Amino acid sequence: MNVGIICYASVGGSGVVATELGKSLATRGHSVHVISTEMPFRMGEFQAGLSFHQVLTPTYPLFREPQYLLSLANKVVQVAREFRLDVIHAHYAVPHATAALLAKQVLSSTLSSAPKLVATLHGTDITLVGNDPSYSEIVAYSIEQSDVVTAVSDSLKEDTRKELRVTRPIQVIPNFLDPGVHRRQHLPELRRRYADDDTRLVIHVSNFRPVKRIDLVMETFDRIRREVPAKLLLVGDGPELGTAYRLGRQMGISHLVEALGAQEEVLPLLSIADVFLLPSSMESFGLAALEAMACEVPVVASRVGGLPEVVEDGVTGFLHDPEDVAAMAATSVELLRDPARRCAAGKAARQRVIERFSADKVVPLYEACYQAATR
């Protein structure tokens, strides 16, 4: 099957999943065309069956802002016509599903059989951008007019129905990864770079947006380090990283915090960590938590959004009410003090990934969507 995938190239869950899906589909014999503003960082080396098409958005004095929606739709038309796409798979509702819908309408006027549109909803495209009155009508229309719609969690599916009053069927297909690639590595030298044998490592990986609640990350760690020798690894970059720096100085813990910036490859860092901390105010799925679980790192997180569908509370980690810093710190300390329990939770976490969120289990669900759309 010829599949076009539209995604964001930046570091983030939707772009990561879309790229990994494209790679998996190509491995399974499909012809996949990734359409984005730049090469997605997870595409890596050349792979047969997988190609990239760049969207260039020119600027003109007449336009106050670059017209990305129009240039994207135009590129989708070009790629679909040239490579006879069967399916356009838009990751993120706005503007990608909207651009794909416009492209489909253009193609319908020139082709006997236009490609079908599959839209995958990832999170803030619904809970933040999608329900903004400035966009909500267009987002809802784009979803309703898609041939197949999927969401990465039951929580996001219900949010879409509630916030946008969408009535069409939405299939839940979770995010996924390849457990053969995402696995704990033995890296004692890297671990010694950040901690001695008596010091535990707590890690947080995110895009450092306000929804990630970096203030709670710092407050929770401050409580943890008072109970057990520990250091905090902050992986990622974004507007709230400065908050981490400021709070570290105020709390007097800057010497215990390592800010490593944005990293394309996080598996080595997850492999040396003992606990993954994610006190977000909202997570429609929690791909970073899934990556930690694949590396046998127990997750301590907020009980919000799709996280309860990923983390099995009390088995693969702990979930707490948002802002319950005391509880998050207490369960983190419990795991850090008890190597046997931490190991058991890590093993259970990886097993859950293999059983429910592996590429072998999830990619065929997308293939079934394509087949249903093109019947």
Are residues 216 and 263 both part of a single domain?
yes
Q: Is residue 31 a contact partner of residue 60, using CB atoms and an 8 Å limit?
A: no
Question: Is 47 part of any domain?
Answer: yes
Are residues 78 and 194 both part of a single domain?
no
Question: Is 299 part of any domain?
Answer: yes
Question: Is 34 part of any domain?
Answer: yes
Are residues 43 and 155 both part of a single domain?
yes
- The residue that leads in pLDDT, 59 or 227, is 227
Structural domain that includes position 308? 188-356
* Predicted model pTM: 0.93
Are residues 97 and 44 both part of a single domain?
yes
DSSP 240: T
How many DSSP H helices and E strands does the chain contain?
Answer: 15, 13
Number of domains in the chain: 2
Question: Is 67 part of any domain?
Answer: yes
Are residues 349 and 365 both part of a single domain?
no
The model's pLDDT over 36-73, given as tens digits with 9 standing for 90+, comes to 998 887 787 889 999 999 999 888 777 777 788 999 99
Given a cut of 70, whether residue 351 has pLDDT beyond it is yes
CATH of the domain at 44: 3.40.50.2000
Are residues 247 and 344 both part of a single domain?
yes
The model's pLDDT over 324-335, given as tens digits with 9 standing for 90+, comes to 999 999 999 999
Q: State the sign of the Cα–Cα–Cα–Cα dihedral 193, 199, 205, 207.
A: negative
* Cα dist from 275 to 145, 233, 342, whole Å: 43, 10, 8
Given a cut of 90, whether residue 194 has pLDDT beyond it is yes
Question: Is 182 part of any domain?
Answer: no
Q: Which residue has the tokens 């996280």?
A: 307
What is the rounded average pLDDT of the residues 157-178? Answer: 94
Are residues 345 and 368 both part of a single domain?
no
- Return d(Cα 143, Cα 160) in angstroms, integer: 10
Q: Which residue has the tokens 């356009």?
A: 88
Residues with Cβ within 8 Å of 358's Cβ and at least 6 positions away in sequence, in order, are 176, 177, 178, 179
**CB burial string 228-250: b at 16+ within 10 A, e below:** bebbbbbbbbbebbebbbebbee
CA torsion angle 245 248 249 252 (round to 10)? -160
pLDDT at position 298 is 98
The model's pLDDT over 77-116, given as tens digits with 9 standing for 90+, comes to 999 999 999 999 999 888 899 999 999 999 998 887 899 9
Are residues 350 and 365 both part of a single domain?
no
What is the rounded average pLDDT of the residues 336-345? Answer: 98
What is the rounded average pLDDT of the residues 211-219? Answer: 97
Q: Is residue 327 a contact partner of residue 319, using CB atoms and an 8 Å limit?
A: no
Are residues 252 and 161 both part of a single domain?
no
Q: Contacts by 213-216 with C-beta closer than 8 Å and gap 24+?
A: 213/279, 213/280, 213/281, 213/302, 213/322, 213/323, 214/240, 214/241, 214/243, 214/244, 214/247, 215/243, 215/247, 216/279, 216/323, 216/325, 216/328
Are residues 153 and 241 both part of a single domain?
no
Token readout for 292 is: 């930690």
What is the rounded average pLDDT of the residues 112-121? Answer: 92
Are residues 222 and 105 both part of a single domain?
no
Question: Is 14 part of any domain?
Answer: yes
Are residues 227 and 279 both part of a single domain?
yes
pLDDT at position 195 is 96
